Structure 1
Amino acid sequence: MKIIIRTTSLVCILLFASCETLNQAAGVLSQAGINPSATEIALGLKQALEVGTGNGSDRLSAKDGFLGNLAVKILFPPEAQKVEKTLRSVGLGSLADNVITSLNRAAEDAATEAKPIFVSAIKQMTINDAVNILLGNQNDAATQYFKRVTSAQLAAKFNPIITNSLGKVGATKYWSTAMTSYNKIPLVTKINPDLDDYVTQKAIDGLFYEIAGEELKIRTNISARSTTLLQRVFGYADQNKAKQ
């Protein structure tokens, strides 16, 4: 009879326990080693992306962040590479160098403004998205998702920043001088690519490149998981990957 009474009492306690009590209990179970919840996974991924975008933006916004990084350094647009080659062949190599330097300075300047844009986009990721990304087979799954759903919005917001930056660092002047000098050369086909769009896209590509590197680091390097949540969530992903 005592067993029945105690069991009934336990059921009643569970049935009428407050949400806060149950949440506290869930937290204890979570800390005890139970698999992370979908909410924890979402928070962990968002934290990883915030770390990645923050680190990437900080690195690229520093002086020579773009210019000194061969993986993301911005060169003449592909359709204008013959312009660079021709300018250098007629003794205008310093002008070509000034163009390249100014393009990268513009991207570095704009990268300073990128962080809040990325943070805002990260907050829009759903729990289901996060779970699928964490347990997927791609080491850059989060970055690819982020790139897929935010690229257009980033370009729209980033373009005015780049346009302003190009003028501020003198890129527009150097580019105009380079194009004018090139177009004056006899027998060349005149060309003038859209510099703003080109640098905008290259700057965004560079940011995504850095973010992907950060994501890979967190996924594969345990020491890079700087918080308890990251350790827990990505540790769980490691376990699932080992079972596949």
Structure 2
Amino acid sequence: MSAPACVPAWGHTWVDLPVLRLPMPEAELIPCADRCFQIPIVINAPEDPVQRAVHRWFLGHHGAFLVWKFLSDSLDRLIREPDSQLVRLTALGYDAYSVMLAYSGSCSREVYEDVIRPMMVTFDPAFSGRWARDYEPLPGLLRRARTALGPAAAAPLSSASKANLVAHKEVMRRLVPGGPSLLRESGRTSAPTTEAERARFDEFFLVSRECVCVSRYQAHRTAILSAIGHDLAKHPLSPEYGETLRTFATRL
């Protein structure tokens, strides 16, 4: 028996991934008995190149959701309890997020324009990463953590977060060179993000907001990181990506 899958038909392709069940950003995971969640979570990458590109777009975003949660929790702790070891681990989290960006956006420009972007347009003409509720608090938390730590202690965190911005811009430059975002094209850039838009972002990326126990969360996190690692081993992008994810996974 495998975890429930949400398999909507969008465009001419299928997205076959287990629903990622997450609490709201401000909510805690539910304590539970060790390994109380025993249902296997199976994630397999398609062999067809276009289907694999779409699979990576969604699975990479699932990885990003998990990294966002990790970064939010870690930055919040650093604000309250500055710690050099946690600084290094949080910096590694930003490196892992950079891998998720490269992985999810590893498709060709043609596949993005012909398949992935139309999927988002069909779902919502103004679809935007600004609607990611888990990412929203991160810039503010990062600023507060760097202030609490001071420039010297925060140096690894500052370096990794800046590299992450470069990684994000590189994906955008490659997939949407000089082109406007869907949000800009819609003329809704000045409007604040609504709760309905945050819910739409979750829905598109197969994320369900609910009470989740620690065991279930960890099992799905392990499955996602493992699946991305296996895919990168079979279809490499950059040699250091796999090592970054392995190191991140072992230190969680």
Fold shared by both chains (TM-score > 0.5): no
Task: Select the structure that is richer in helix.
Answer: 1
Task: Select the structure that is richer in strand.
Answer: 2
Greater radius of gyration (CA): 1
TM-score w.r.t. length of structure 2: 0.27
TM-score w.r.t. length of structure 1: 0.28
